[in-house]
Amino acid sequence: MAKSVRVKSFELFPQDICEVDIQSLHALSLGVGWPHRPADWELFRRAGQGIVAVDGIGRVFGSAMWFPHGEDFATVGLVITTPRAQANGAGRWLMEQVLTRCDGRHLSLNSTRAAYPLYISLGFEVEATVFLHDGITLEIPTLPAADGVLSELSTDGIEELAAFDAPAFGTERGKLLSLLSEVAVTCVLKRNDVVVGYAMRRKFGSGHVIGPIVALNDADAVQLTAWHLKSLSGKQTRIDTREKGAFSDFLTTCRLNISETTTTMSKGRRFLNRAENKPWIYGLAGHALS
């Protein structure tokens, strides 16, 4: 008997991500150590578009998604190649498919270390570091009273919230916020009956994610986050933020420590444009959603 066997190389073809079994996508993310549940993939498939790389008998070897907002912008994410197929050109090929399908759109994504050289070579430029804070909060430090009224959003409030959010995100993303609100609990901060901040929390992976968190200043962002953390005591919680100052310190005080960093990159128009006294994204909706 031969001591080894040479396995034939195989060809991969693009297929719409909505046409494959959700379990094969779950297996793909598990394979690279990501926490996504099938329900998380379902949500992403409803929020955006994507392709998978399949072989001749329909096995999934890779994925890439994009989430269009408005006419000329999209975020990119869920770019995965299964480990046994990595370093063979599939990741680059998947991204080329995305770039062709997103032609004419400005793009942004949050890159892992593994994908960084690929995105640089495709013309993406570095904008910021994203800090993944996670852990289990048991106790929240005593905070001063909030400047305004914090309450849970009623189902018909998404339009006002989307209008508040648009200058922070740079593009109107009401459709995404509306979709997220179906599975999220949303807290709104109002002053004089006007929205001045909001934060959502939803189940993700084996715990919960708080995001988006959008506010005018650090103090409001802390109040919105604390509102959610009170309900998440003892539960695994994750917040992705680009903040370093008071907001980040608050998370660390709540035992949500930095476990990983990624890099926000863009291709085309600059994505992050902070302006004084304007809303700002303190917490990301998700790595793929920005």
**Chain positions contacting ligand COA, by CB under 6 A:** 32, 79-81, 86-92, 111-112, 114-115, 117-118, 121
Q: Token pair of 276, please? A: 């004084």
CA dist., res. 38 & res. 227, Å (int): 28
In angstroms, what is the minimal distance from the CB of 265 to ligand COA?
Answer: 9
* Pure H helices in the chain: 22-31, 38-47, 90-101, 116-121, 158-169, 174-183, 218-229, 246-253
In angstroms, what is the minimal distance from the CB of 109 to ligand COA?
Answer: 6
In angstroms, what is the minimal distance from the CB of 232 to ligand COA?
Answer: 26
In angstroms, what is the minimal distance from the CB of 204 to ligand COA?
Answer: 16
In angstroms, what is the minimal distance from the CB of 117 to ligand COA?
Answer: 4
Residue number of the CB closest to ligand COA reads 91
Q: 3-class SS at 282?
A: strand
Nearer to ligand COA, 115 or 214 (CB): 115
226 neighbors 201 (Cβ within 8 angstroms): no
Nearer to ligand COA, 61 or 164 (CB): 61
In angstroms, what is the minimal distance from the CB of 13 to ligand COA?
Answer: 15
DSSP type of residue 94: H
CA dist., res. 269 & res. 70, Å (int): 14
Q: Token pair of 286, please? A: 């998700």
Q: What is the DSSP string of 11-38?
A: --EEEEGGGS-HHHHHHHHHHTT----H
Give 52's strand partners.
Answer: 15, 63
How far, in whole angstroms, is CA 75 from its chain's centroid? Answer: 9
> What are the Cα distances from residue 136, in Å, to 16, 208, 231?
37, 10, 12
Give 60's strand partners.
Answer: 54
Nearer to ligand COA, 15 or 86 (CB): 86
In angstroms, what is the minimal distance from the CB of 107 to ligand COA?
Answer: 12
Helix (H) or strand (E) holding 43: helix 38-47
Nearer to ligand COA, 88 or 151 (CB): 88
Helix (H) or strand (E) holding 217: none
